[in-house]
Amino acid sequence: MNKPVEVIVVGAGLAGCEAAWYLAAHGVKVKLYEVKSVKKNPAQKIDGFAELVCSNSLRGRDLTQGVGLLKEELKLLGSLVMEAALATEVPAGGALAVDRDLFSQYITNKIRSLDNIEIIENEFREIDPDQLTIVATGPLTSGSLLASLTALVGTEFSYFSDASAPIVAADSIDYQKAYFTSRYGKGNMEDYLNCPMDKVEYEAFYSKLISAEGAEKHLEEEKEKYFEGCMPIEELARRGIKTLLFGPLKPVGLGLGDSRPYGVVQLRAENQEKSMYNLVGFQTGLTFSEQRELISLIPGLESAEILRYGVIHRNTFINSPMVLNRYGFLNNYNNVFVAGQISGVEGYLESAASGLYVGWQVLRKIKDLSFLDFPQETMLASMFRYITSSVNKKGKLEPMNANFGLLPLLSENIRDKKEKKLAMGKASLVALKDFIGEVNG
């Protein structure tokens, strides 16, 4: 094949930045398109790259958690996102959370520092199937590009709606009512700020929540669908009055002394200075006025200053099992690669991982080498196997976070679930280290 002079990467989110960084660092000329400084979508607030538009948490660190294993794999693979996360983290108990502004700034500076990356701050409208291209535009891909991609894959598109949580000012919280502790005392005791509710307070809160008015939907003609990992709190509440008490308001392990609250709203630091806190698990699509009233019912937040309201936004993704090769390119167009949430992965780290995975494959294509089959024991390989082969009864892909259910079973039978996951995690990392050593020679 004719070797391309450059690679086009569309979108400077987590996936696009990982792909662009990897390729540029290996001597490839990259044209990185990012339109947000000219035209932002409803979820975007800043001009920087790799903006975290939902939570500032990258979720668990433990090797017995799917995303914890993925983090360790990304470290081995030289992930820019993991480098940035560790440089800008904020306290979050057993989770990895970041100062989202510093995180974005870190990645933006890194990307802009490379001579091999040309940043084009304009809308990318049409895909040329003869040009080596990585589409990593994320869940809110613009209409013209979406139409171009649809023309290549047919009508194999689906969607779901995602939501983000409100953020409040730290100095507006009543610390006479709220207190610091981590669940079961894990991690630093000041990682989470807790607002306890008694039964009467909870029932008043619940009553308001299920009767509150939702914000105007962007797509009135379409029925809303939500990804379980980012379910709006009002949708959870509609499942029953006690649902929240087993979810985001779970009080177990958060009592003071012998007392145990009926329900607890947890807040997590949004930045390193701890001047802002987000409401954990409070993704919402309620109107701003309803959010104000609802938050004022939470003990300790009666007079809270809301710095950012929760919003719902649409996530678009291709039906990858029908149109995407396991190496990340479209079945009928081997120059067009797809990464990030538009490929069907779900989650910050999952999106970053897919961008890095595709970056590795594109470099192989440029060098006229065979594509890479990552070890099947790894979370990375298992994620791509899932999104390119798994469909529901309706023939559609259902986005899913990294989890041990995606990994192949161990040859040995380990009864203890935690020990079993730990063994799977260790096996993954050993296999990946060996694989990287073989590839790099």
d(CA 391, CA 375): 22
- pLDDT of the residue at 93: 85
Statement to judge: residues 225 and 274 lie in one domain: yes
Q: Output the average pLDDT for the chain.
A: 89
Residue 236 has pLDDT above 50, yes or no: yes
Token pair for residue 50?
């790799």
Q: Is residue 1 part of a domain?
A: no
Residues in Cβ contact with 272 at an 8 Å cutoff, skipping those fewer than 6 apart: 88, 90, 99, 102
Q: Are residues 147 and 253 in the same domain?
A: no
Residue 225 pLDDT greater than 70, yes or no: no
- Non-local (6+) Cβ contacts of 180 within 8 A are 189, 190, 191, 192, 193, 194
Domain assignment of residue 281, given as a range: 167-310
Beta strands 95-98 and 167-169, pairing class: unpaired
Are residues 67 and 153 located together in one domain of the fold? Answer: yes
Q: CATH number of the domain that 291 lies in?
A: 2.40.30
Residue ending a domain, choose from 261, 279, 310: 310
Q: How many domains does the chain have?
A: 2
pLDDT at 182: 81
Per-residue pLDDT tens digits for 125-182 = 999 999 999 999 877 777 788 889 999 998 777 767 667 889 999 989 999 999 998 8
Is 12 a member of any domain?
Answer: yes
